[in-house]
Structure 1
Amino acid sequence: MWIERKALAQEIPAAAALETRQLSELLASLGFPVDGIASREGGDVLDVDITANRGDAMSHRGMAREVAARLRQSLTPIAMPTLAEGKPVVEVRLESPACPIYSTAVLELGPGTTPADIQSFLLALEATPKRLPAVDASNELLHRHGHPTHAFDADRIRGAVSVRWAKAGETLVTLDGVERKLVEQDLVIADEAGPIALAGVMGGDGTKVTEATTRVLLESAWFDPKPVKAAARRHSLHTDASHRFGRGADPHMAVVARNLLVGRLQAWCQAPLVGAWTAGTAPAGAAPVPLTGTLLARIAGEPLSLADAAEALRWLGCAADLDGGTLQITPPSWRHDLAIPEDLAEEVLRLRGYEHIPSALPSLEGPPEPLAPAYLQRQRLARRLAQLGFHQTVTYGFISPEVDAAFAAPGNGAEGRTLVNSLGQEYSVMRGSLLPSLQATANQNLRQGAREVRLFELAPVYGSGPAGPVEQFMLGVAWGGTLGGEDHLSPARAVREADLSGIARDLGWEGLPPLRALGEGLFGFEVPVESLPREGARIIPAFRPFSRFPLVERDLSLLVDLGQSHEALTVAMRAVLPKDTLQDLRCVDVFRHKSLPEGRQAWLMRMRFQADRTLVGEEVDGWVAAALAAAESLGARLRA
């Protein structure tokens, strides 16, 4: 946001004594870094970075309050006319709780134009003056005091004015000349003919002020931030007004801003006041927030005086009362971000100066804790898939309701995963599956000419639970495109489902994975990470000393079926052999010949035994007999 030095000095005269560099350093120490300095209209203008939770600072008056609190200097009082409110000239109906107060006035415009110093002020802030006093005065007040106002051509308004929710099918041509299709969640200003403005965002083209306007109806209201932000995103209308209302304006400025706007029009173009009135009342202020010395000391890292804390907060506009050992702090109407004791403690430290916060190293309680097994498992899976030629992706955790409905598991409705204040319709649901993002990424790569795409993602998905979204880590894999074709030894072919099944088996999945066709020649699957086998914590096996006693070998020549599983046979034989003595068991030779019985083959199974003593023949023969019996239980028999 641009802040003009001359205008800031008008709000707090003490700022005029500071050089531009000193002022920039002071603002940075308050948490408002200056990103740049420009020279416009004969003076310096500062580009100040303001965080989203500090809508109160998005004006010269708001920034002056911060400087005044640090310098312990008073602000210049706001000079405004006192208006005697009377009978409404135009009926105003507040039909939505999102607008509790609407202050307005009707004036007849006389001859006059925007003063040169106001035009210079707007140009310095990169706001083009319209040379229409009602419009320029509204823009000047927004930048100077931070409260958006609006002027309607009163003669174009039909009947009463109401603040209500839009009706299905209504449209509005906004000041930018674009026709907007309204939805029932849009808060609008309407007359008896239909909407004339999108509340808190932008006025309508049909009632805009022009050179031919002779009477104006002024609007100075307060709107709930949530519908304003939602409408701005929904219609892609991010205006100066929506930025301020969306971050929380001061409801008690509605009447003040109306009076200031009337005063400017009366001074600039001798505009007679037809009438001024206010519908509704400003919402009640925030309840007192307790601040104890214990909490203040814990956050500060050292004991601080509650009296000093109260003085600092009073300079910010708070009301502070000491009740025993607790400060009862009532934030001002413009500081909606001060809601909990920690907020107040941070404000005390900010005004005291971050450089006064003592440095302290965290206590070291012992060696680092081992990494969580679940994390090590995800790391191992990612490394294995990378070895297999797959690329890891990181995609958004939010998707549209339409895409979610196509991929979410049965029973996992979007009701418990829908965001109340989303970035947009396409990011309004916490995803229930990784496959939509993998599909979109794979298709984009294939459209760009990639012959083959191998992707995977290890990330959480969400289920709808009674207490809210339930998180679960999933592995999603997608494979598509064309394999081979680089030379005559590897003919080209499309990726098949069987290729992806092999990847799942390689990762330890038992049986067929839940494969899904994601498009022509593109397949994917998604499985819970916890259902895949975990690797042992010890990668290097424990060392076993070599025995000094001789090794004993025994062979069994077995006739087995052609379809016999080697793994099943070895598992059965190992189960009956002593684990501490058996060194090795394997098939060392396979013999197939017509001389053997039909459907049979010969396997030579070799067993090696060793112990920390000399083995005797009788016990080894007993082990071999037990192994033969185990093999015979699977249909094998000793070859003659």
Structure 2
Amino acid sequence: MWIDRKALAAEIPAAAALDTRQLCELLASVGFPVDGVAQREGGDVLDVDITANRGDAMSHRGMAREVAARLHRPLAPLAPPASAEGAPQVQVRLESPACPLYATALLSLGKGGTPPEVQAFLRALEATPKGLPAVDASNELLHRCGHPTHAFDADRIRGAVSVRWARVGETLVTLDGVTRTLAAQDLVIADESGPIALAGVMGGEATKVTEATRRVLLESAWFDPKAVKATARRHSLHTDASHRFGRGADPAMASVARDLLVDRLKAWAGATLEGAWTAGALPPAGAPVALEASLLTRVAGEPLPLPEAAEILRRLGCAVDERSGSLVVQPPSWRHDLVIPEDLAEEVLRLRGYEHIPSVLPPLEGPPVPLAAEYLQRQALARRLAHLGFHQTVTYGFISPEADAAFAAPGNAVEGRTLANPLGQEYSVMRGTLLASLRATAEQNLRQGAREVRLFEVAPAHVSGPKGPTERFTLGLAWGGTLGGEDYLSPARPVQEADLAGVARDLGLARLPEVRPLGEGLFGFEVPVADLPEAGARIIPAFRPFSRFPAVERDLSLLVDLGQSHEALTTAMRGALPAEALQDLRCVDVFRHKSLPPGRQAWLMRLRFQADRTLVGAEVDGWMVAALAAAESLGAKLRA
């Protein structure tokens, strides 16, 4: 979020004495690092990183509170002239508990415009001034004080205004010109003609303020954060207002922000107040939180005096009751994140300064716990694939239903793996396969000009079950592109399915997995990690000492079918021979010619025998007979 230095100094005058570097270091010390500094409108603007739980800090006033607490200096007073409330000029009905408070006012606009210094302030924060006082004042207050407000064209409102849940089928054209179909879970501002705004998110086109607007109805309310966040996510409509309401705005600021907006319109546009009124009441404050001295000591790592902790919390706006051995703390209305004792302890340490926490080594008790065998197996698998030239990827565990359907196994119903509250449709399914993610990553690399891609991922895949999805670690592998071609000795060729079969053999799989085409020239397979050799199992065979005795080589010329599997034939022949004597078995020549019987081909099989003794011809002849018999069992015949 952008913070203008001059505007911050207006909220906390003590900040004016700090240069930009000192201010950046101070903000970082209280948990708000500055990502960058820009020069705009004649001054420095800081890009401050604010965590999601600190909606109270998303304004110059909120950031000034943090600076004031650290510097032990007071804030500039925020006391607008109170608008005298009277009878409602427009009836406001609160029909949903998601909006307990709605402060409003009706004004007639005169002549005038947005002051130049306010326009410069908005431009410095990358907000475009509209030249309409009611709109610019609302935007300026949002950035300065952190409470979103809205101005309706009062003459376009029909009848009473109500805050209610939308009705199924209702539509609303929002200020961005998009027609949105509403759901029953959307909180809306409506008049008698229908919805006129998405509560806490964005106003409607039909009641927007224009140059022709003569009267405005102001809105300064408090909306439930969950309702606003759900609506913004449902419509993919994330605005400055929804960010602040969704993270928890200050309900006590509703009336104050309304009065500030009224005061600005009087000063900027010569507006006349026709009436101000409030519907509802402040939501009840949260329960006090007790901070025990023992817990504070445990979190801090050393004893901290309770009076010091109480003074720090009071600087943050908390009401503190000091008791024997504990503090009873009532957080301020703007700090929705202080709900448990640990939150208070962290705030004490944050404002006290992390540099005061002593540095000590943690105690060591006994030997370290050994790593799990499953983890070691996955690490060994990743190292092996890296040695083979593959790159490990890490992709999202959630994918779209369409991507999941392309590779999901039969019986793995997508309904059992669909999230109830996904970030979006493309992340709504817990993936049952890694191939969809690997395909997308590989195709992106190929589109970017990669000549060859070798990718793998070791991650959980999910299987639907009666008690919910279960996960199992899976290896997914993708290989595509062009091999070779770097020189005339290695001609270029596309990656083939057999290449992946070779990888599967190298990994020691008992049976080859199904190699699936992922795209043009792109293939992949996946297997459960549990099916792979356990960590520590040797993939490279153990060394076998060389024999001092001569080896014996014999050839078998066999007629086999054209569809004969080399693996099946060699497996059968090896099974018939003594493993301790058989040193090598391979096909050294393939002959196909019209002189051979139809549907047959000739394979020359070379067998090498060696042992720790001298082999005699009779025993080698017996082994060759056994090898021929094993080959004949698969339909092979000795070639004459």
Would you call these one fold, judging by a TM-score over 0.5? yes
Q: Which residue of 2 aligns with 1:428?
A: 428
Question: Residue 111 of structure 2 aligns to which amino acid in structure 1?
Answer: P
Question: Residue 582 of structure 2 aligns to which amino acid in structure 1?
Answer: R
Q: Retained in 2: the 8 A contact 1:553–1:608?
A: no
Give the secondary structure class of the aligned counterpart of 1:298: helix
CA distance in 1, matches of 2:488, 2:18: 78
CA distance in 1, matches of 2:444, 2:610: 55
Q: Which residue of 1 aligns with 2:326?
A: 326
Give the secondary structure class of the aligned counterpart of 1:513: coil
Pick closer, same or farther for the CA change 1:374–1:608 going to 2, 3 Å.
Answer: same
Deviation at 1:495, TM superposition (A): 5.3
CA distance in 2, matches of 1:411, 1:198: 42
1:245-256 paired onto structure 2 within 5 Å: 245-256=245-256
Give the secondary structure class of the aligned counterpart of 1:188: strand
CA distance in 1, matches of 2:534, 2:263: 75
1:266-277 paired onto structure 2 within 5 Å: 266-277=266-277
CA distance in 2, matches of 1:13, 1:246: 30
Q: Which residue of 2 aligns with 1:98?
A: 98
Deviation at 1:348, TM superposition (A): 0.5
Q: Which residue of 1 aligns with 2:222?
A: 222
Deviation at 1:512, TM superposition (A): 4.1
Pick closer, same or farther for the CA change 1:63–1:259 going to 2, 3 Å.
Answer: same
Cα shift readout 1:265-295 (whole Å, capped 9, x = no counterpart): 2344443333333333333322333322222
1:171-210 paired onto structure 2 within 5 Å: 171-176=171-176, 178-184=177-183, 185-210=185-210
Deviation at 1:77, TM superposition (A): 3.3
1:518 aligns with 2:518: yes
Give the secondary structure class of the aligned counterpart of 1:26: helix
Deviation at 1:527, TM superposition (A): 1.1
Give the secondary structure class of the aligned counterpart of 1:69: helix
Deviation at 1:365, TM superposition (A): 5.5
Q: Which residue of 2 aligns with 1:358?
A: 358
CA distance in 2, matches of 1:261, 1:47: 26
Q: Which residue of 2 aligns with 1:55?
A: 55
Question: Residue 508 of structure 1 aligns to which amino acid in structure 2?
Answer: G
CA distance in 2, matches of 1:493, 1:67: 65
Deviation at 1:391, TM superposition (A): 3.9
Cα shift readout 1:385-441 (whole Å, capped 9, x = no counterpart): 445554433322221233224433445445564455544321233322111112223
CA distance in 1, matches of 2:67, 2:630: 92
Pick closer, same or farther for the CA change 1:635–1:407 going to 2, 3 Å.
Answer: closer
Question: Residue 110 of structure 1 aligns to which amino acid in structure 2?
Answer: G
Pick closer, same or farther for the CA change 1:22–1:437 going to 2, 3 Å.
Answer: closer
Q: Which residue of 1 aligns with 2:474?
A: 474
Return 493-502 or 58-67, whichever deviates more: 493-502
Pick closer, same or farther for the CA change 1:132–1:518 going to 2, 3 Å.
Answer: same
What is the TM-score normalised by the length of structure 1?
Answer: 0.79
Deviation at 1:26, TM superposition (A): 2.4
Give the secondary structure class of the aligned counterpart of 1:217: strand
Pick closer, same or farther for the CA change 1:540–1:114 going to 2, 3 Å.
Answer: closer
Give the secondary structure class of the aligned counterpart of 1:309: helix
Question: Residue 263 of structure 1 aligns to which amino acid in structure 2?
Answer: D
CA distance in 2, matches of 1:571, 1:322: 85
1:5-84 paired onto structure 2 within 5 Å: 5-37=5-37, 44-84=44-84
CA distance in 2, matches of 1:297, 1:308: 13
Q: Which residue of 2 aligns with 1:528?
A: 528
Deviation at 1:482, TM superposition (A): 6.2
Q: Retained in 2: the 8 A contact 1:554–1:608?
A: no
CA distance in 2, matches of 1:589, 1:161: 89
Aligned length: 606
1:402 aligns with 2:425: no
1:429-444 paired onto structure 2 within 5 Å: 429-444=429-444
Pick closer, same or farther for the CA change 1:254–1:495 going to 2, 3 Å.
Answer: same
1:292-311 paired onto structure 2 within 5 Å: 292-311=292-311
Question: Residue 109 of structure 2 aligns to which amino acid in structure 1?
Answer: L
CA distance in 2, matches of 1:67, 1:220: 27
CA distance in 1, matches of 2:521, 2:541: 43
Q: Retained in 2: the 8 A contact 1:100–1:223?
A: yes
Deviation at 1:477, TM superposition (A): 2.0
Pick closer, same or farther for the CA change 1:92–1:540 going to 2, 3 Å.
Answer: same
1:103-182 paired onto structure 2 within 5 Å: 103-167=103-167, 170-176=170-176, 178-182=177-181
Give the secondary structure class of the aligned counterpart of 2:286: coil
Pick closer, same or farther for the CA change 1:487–1:278 going to 2, 3 Å.
Answer: same
CA distance in 2, matches of 1:448, 1:26: 43
Give the secondary structure class of the aligned counterpart of 2:476: strand
Question: Residue 180 of structure 1 aligns to which amino acid in structure 2?
Answer: T
Cα shift readout 1:6-29 (whole Å, capped 9, x = no counterpart): 433443343344444443332222
Cα shift readout 1:249-269 (whole Å, capped 9, x = no counterpart): 112222221222223323444
Give the secondary structure class of the aligned counterpart of 2:377: helix
Give the secondary structure class of the aligned counterpart of 1:461: strand
Return 533-542 or 403-412, whichever deviates more: 533-542
Return 79-88 or 53-62, whichever deviates more: 79-88
- Find the partner of 1:586 among 582, 589, 595: 582
Pick closer, same or farther for the CA change 1:569–1:62 going to 2, 3 Å.
Answer: same
Pick closer, same or farther for the CA change 1:381–1:541 going to 2, 3 Å.
Answer: closer
What is the TM-score normalised by the length of structure 2?
Answer: 0.79
Deviation at 1:245, TM superposition (A): 1.9
1:451-490 paired onto structure 2 within 5 Å: 453-464=453-464, 470-480=470-480
Give the secondary structure class of the aligned counterpart of 1:130: coil
Return 443-452 or 469-478, whichever deviates more: 443-452
Q: Which residue of 1 aligns with 2:240?
A: 240
Return 374-383 or 99-108, whichever deviates more: 374-383
Q: Retained in 1: the 8 A contact 2:161–2:192?
A: yes
Return 112-121 or 211-220, whichever deviates more: 112-121
CA distance in 1, matches of 2:20, 2:479: 59
Q: Retained in 1: the 8 A contact 2:164–2:189?
A: yes
Deviation at 1:351, TM superposition (A): 0.8
Q: Structure 2: where are the runs of 5+ without partners? A: 561-567, 587-604, 614-618, 632-640
Deviation at 1:369, TM superposition (A): 6.0
Q: Supply the RMSD in Å over aligned alpha carbons.
A: 4.6
Q: Which residue of 2 aligns with 1:597?
A: none
Deviation at 1:603, TM superposition (A): 7.9
CA distance in 2, matches of 1:232, 1:571: 67
CA distance in 1, matches of 2:78, 2:449: 64
CA distance in 2, matches of 1:415, 1:174: 34
Give the secondary structure class of the aligned counterpart of 2:524: strand
Q: Retained in 2: the 8 A contact 1:230–1:421?
A: no
Q: Which residue of 1 aligns with 2:592?
A: none
CA distance in 1, matches of 2:109, 2:585: 107
CA distance in 1, matches of 2:415, 2:439: 24
Question: Residue 401 of structure 2 aligns to which amino acid in structure 1?
Answer: P
CA distance in 1, matches of 2:479, 2:33: 48
Deviation at 1:134, TM superposition (A): 1.5
